[in-house]
Amino acid sequence: MTETGRKVEVIEKRTVFQGYHRVDAYRLRHSLYQGGMGAEIRREVIERGHAVLVLPYDHMRDEVVLIEQFRMGPFARGDQPWCLEVVAGIIEDGEELEDVVRREAREEAGIELSQITYVLDCYTSPGTLNECISIYCAHTDASVAAGTHGIASEGEDIKVIVMSFDKVMAALADGHIKAAPAIVAIQWLALHRDEIRQRWLV
């Protein structure tokens, strides 16, 4: 029984692939809007763990710290594979979300954070992934953000890119930023920028 009172009946769940990600196959039935239970359906879910994402913003300089790295998804589609994104990382068992945010900011961008502000939780692709991302916005000193970072043993090669808020919004408008979680975080900042700049001055 879910929070809405509707039901999901799992008939079978089994792991059909275990590699960089895990794929679980389900046979299930669920409640119908018109009442009763639907017919059995089969679905696969990519299990990749849950993540945190942070948009580092320097409210004094009105600048955003983005990162750029190679991504398999766009490459496999035949698209430009170096993506403008924001700092993110997978949550390990027992970790506090803000601790992950701070760690990933150091590892991926070489920056420190303060004024860590919770934004929202979102599913990146709820029809296929069980991943839920917790999004934050935090203050950083953009004047010292530069260089390339990442953990070489994990294949990371991450470039730091500092952009004015106006240039970030222009990059969003012209399609240079295509990663959905980054778009969500930037749009949130656009809606709350004045409030954030006032709050973080305290």
Q: Is the dihedral of CA 160, 108, 144, 172 positive or negative?
A: positive
**Residue that the structure tokens 């600048």 belong to:** 63
Distance CA 193, CA 83 (A): 24
**Residue that the structure tokens 């990933």 belong to:** 104
Q: Is the dihedral of CA 178, 122, 161, 149 positive or negative?
A: negative
Distance CA 113, CA 136 (A): 11
**Residue that the structure tokens 């890119």 belong to:** 161
Ranges assigned E (strand) in the chain: 8-18, 22-30, 41-47, 51-58, 63-70, 82-85, 87-90, 114-123, 132-139, 148-149, 158-164
Single-letter code of the amino acid located at 43? R
**Which H/E stretch holds residue 196?**
helix 180-199
Q: Which residues are catalytic?
A: 154
